[in-house]
Amino acid sequence: MIDKQSPIPIYHQLEEYVKHLIENGILKPDEAIPSEREYAEQYQISRMTVRQALNNLVSDGYLYRQKGRGTFVNKQKVEQKLQGLTSFTEDMKERGMEPSSRLISFEIIPAEQQLARKLGIKENTPIYEIKRVRLADNVPMALETTYLPANLVKGLTDEIINKSLYQYIEEKLALTISEATQQIEASIAKEIEVKHLQVEQGSPVLLIVRTSFLQDGTPFELVKSAYRADRYKFVHTMQRATK
Amino acid sequence: MIDKQSPIPIYHQLEEYVKHLIENGILKPDEAIPSEREYAEQYQISRMTVRQALNNLVSDGYLYRQKGRGTFVNKQKVEQKLQGLTSFTEDMKERGMEPSSRLISFEIIPAEQQLARKLGIKENTPIYEIKRVRLADNVPMALETTYLPANLVKGLTDEIINKSLYQYIEEKLALTISEATQQIEASIAKEIEVKHLQVEQGSPVLLIVRTSFLQDGTPFELVKSAYRADRYKFVHTMQRATK
DNA sequence: CACATAAACTGGTATAGACATCTAGATTTA
DNA sequence: TAAATCTAGATGTCTATACCAGTTTATGTG
């Protein structure tokens, strides 16, 4: 199991071995693993070397320690999943629904001041504005408006939009979205939302404004969505920063 | 600088000291810090202890190492910040407002079915229920209800609640919250919210339900908050998972 | 001056041992 | 029986040392 002659560091070998046991369910969640001294004894290695291996697994979230008790296996992270940064399409599929779209409008307009600022471009720079009703299992779920700087995303057609905009962006344009910020607020459906979402006047809606950034930090798109509050909850998971 | 008699571990003292130098710009990005052997010599501590301190700073992103060259200061991450996992108090301070609370009720009740399930306890297990109006700059911002299993958090008094619940939990009880999931939805203010948030009937509110987990995955608290939609937007940042 | 080589650094890996602190269970004591 | 105490074993901290493997710099040598 542990080869002291190998050029691969011992701590790394042990690390991979224990990780393997966890990922294959041989060590179960909340089960105590052998103590540091046991590992050291069994493989005839130093306890500090064992600690180096286990510490790495702790910081990777595979294990947790309890002083005086032992070291235990963590529950398999439900999902490393895309921490919320998903497209509508991905999001709905995740929820077991069938996503679709209905294009309302698609045009090139000059960016008004606020929009220009958020997209990091000059005022009146041409941008695409795409308005769509987003459906899940053929029921209106959200009214979505996407803004894209025209210079970054050239040659957009309504055909592309109807297929997969994100796929086009990632594969054809070779642009990678690495980060996004979202603002989420509650509001009352405006007239256009009442109409397209088929809700009563005075109904609540969840407004989500997302700005996405490329790897170099360039703002890339801005999406404003109004979700039917009776059909959609925004769900996400967060980790606490290790102070 | 380093006090060997202190009950605070030496590596932690050194860690805090170097972190301080970085955060205050005394050590600049890409600047090499003293070598491990220099630190060891200067403070008369073992090199392994120095390594423990520096390793922590490396995994926290403050430093990076280059074999044979040295250890260097990382560019300050645009945001180290608590990725959204903040208390109301922290959140409001971040926004430049002065947080405060008004206790509405504080009692021990048996957990009803749904609550029990979400907290991973048996039905009718005693739990604390704490209802508070949360204020920012003395204006009602949210109505918040916190549920805590009584067996996990013993000896809670309204005095503690009025100071800092989280501080009490982390410092006195030595419990660390590592993860949380949130559900965010839009709704219309209910009667109790109309009353305490001082809004009109029919006003929209942002409902946030957060479940927090300890390091071992035990559900620890459930917080239901209703925010005034006209005063509060939920903001967060996400990274795209590296597939 | 140009170039190879050696020396003097750097961080990376590993050892063996010591003592501290915390936990859980066994044992003793009131 | 119940409470207090002890103890074995777990992780946490720390030391002193050794050697390895890269990188840089000084030192010679042609």
Which residue would you say has higher pLDDT here, B165 or A205? A205
User: Does residue A75 or residue B2 have the better pLDDT?
Assistant: B2
Please state whether strand D lies within 7 Å of residue B11 at its CB atom: yes
What mean pLDDT is predicted for residues B225-230? 95
CB B127: neighbour CB atoms within 10 A? 26
**Cross-chain Cβ contact A83/B238 below 8 Å:** yes
pLDDT recorded at residue B85: 60
| A60 burial via Cβ count (<10 Å: 0-12, 13-18, 19+) | exposed
Does the structure show a pLDDT above 70 at A14?
yes
With CB atoms and an 8 Å threshold, state whether B238 touches A179: yes
Other beta carbons within 10 angstroms of residue B131's beta carbon come to 17
Mean pLDDT of A136-164: 83
pLDDT at B128 over 70: yes
Is pLDDT at A80 greater than 50 in this prediction? no
Residues of chain A neighbouring B216 (CB-CB closer than 8 A): 30, 64, 66, 72, 74
pLDDT band for position B82 (50/70/90)? very low
Report which DSSP code applies to B155: S
A 111-130 → B contacts, CB under 8 A: none
State the nucleotide closest to A13 in CA–C1' terms: C13
CB contacts, 8 Å: A84 with chain B: 236, 238
Q: A19-28, A77-86, A168-177, A215-224: which has the highest mean pLDDT?
A: A19-28
Q: Residue A10: its pLDDT value, please?
A: 96
Cα gap A112→B133, rounded to integer Å: 39
Other CB atoms within 10 Å distance of the CB of residue A59: 13
Mean pLDDT of chain B: 86
Query: Which DSSP string do the residues of A92-122 spell out, in sequence order?
Result: HHHTT--EEEEEEEEEEEEPPHHHHHHHTS-
Q: Is A176 on the interface with B (CB under 8 A)?
A: yes
Q: Is the CB of A69 under 7 A from strand D?
A: yes
What are the residue ranges spanned by the domains of chain B? 10-73, 88-228
Contacts of B184 in chain A (CB under 8 A): 184, 206, 233-236
Closest chain B CA to residue A227: B186
In DSSP terms, A131 is beta-bridged to A105, A145
Per residue in B91-121, pLDDT tens?
888 888 988 889 999 999 999 998 988 888 8
* B131-143: average pLDDT: 94
Homologous superfamily, domain A88-228? Chorismate lyase-like (3.40.1410.10)
CA distance A105 to A96: 28
Is A182 an 8 Å CB contact of chain B?
A: yes
> How much of chain B exceeds pLDDT 70, in percent?
86
Give mean pLDDT, residues B186-215. Answer: 93
User: What is residue B1's predicted lDDT score, i.e. its pLDDT?
Assistant: 80
Instruction: Mark yes or no for CB contact B236/A236 under 8 Å.
Output: yes
pLDDT tops 60 at residue B84:
no
* A vs B: CB pairs below 8 A: 135
Tell if the CB–CB gap between B240 and A177 is shorter than 8 Å: yes
Residue B161 pLDDT exceeds 70: no
Residue % of chain A over a pLDDT of 90 = 56
Q: Give the pLDDT mean for B1-21.
A: 92
Tokens representing A215? 């790897």
Residues 6+ apart with CB under 8 A from B52: B11
Read off the pLDDT of residues A158-215 as tens digits, 9 standing for 90 and up.
Answer: 766 666 677 677 666 666 666 788 899 999 999 999 999 999 999 999 999 999 887 6
**B181: which chain A residues are within 8 Å (Cβ-Cβ)?**
235-238
**Residue B53 CA to nucleotide C11 C1', Å?**
14
> How far does the CA of residue B41 sit from the closest CA of chain A (Å)?
22
What mean pLDDT comes out for the span A33-44?
96
Q: Are B51 and B36 in contact (CB under 8 A)?
A: yes
**Set of chain A residues whose Cβ sits within 8 Å of the Cβ of B232:** 185
Range B10-73 has CATH code 1.25.40.80: no
Q: Residue A42: is its pLDDT beyond 80?
A: yes
| CB neighbours of residue A141 within 10 Å | 23
pLDDT at B164: 67
Strand C atom within 7 Å of A212 CB = no
By three-state DSSP, how is residue B230 classified? coil
- Are B160 and B180 in contact, with CB atoms under 8 Å apart? no
B65 touches strand C (CB under 7 A): yes
pLDDT of res. B87: 79
Average pLDDT, chain A: 86
Range among B88-92, B105-109, B170-174 rated most confident? B105-109
Q: Is B170 on the interface with A (CB under 8 A)?
A: no
| Average pLDDT of the residues in B70-83 | 66
Mean pLDDT, residues B172-187 taken together: 80
User: How confident is the model over A93-105, as pLDDT tens digits?
Assistant: 888 898 889 999 9
* pLDDT band of A40, cuts 50, 70, 90: very high
Q: Which of residues 120-179 of B touch strand D (CB under 7 A)?
A: none
Please state which of the ranges A71-80, A209-218, B34-43 shows the lowest mean pLDDT.
Answer: A71-80
pLDDT, average across residues B227-241: 83
Contact B241/A at CB under 8 A: yes
CA distance B94 to chain A (A): 15
pLDDT at A243: 35
The neighbour count for residue A34, using CB atoms within 10 Å, is 15
pLDDT at A76: 65
Q: Is the pLDDT of residue B192 over 60?
A: yes
The whole-number pLDDT of residue A225 equals 95
- Residue A131 confidence class, pLDDT cut points 50, 70, 90: very high
B237 close to A (CB below 8 A): yes
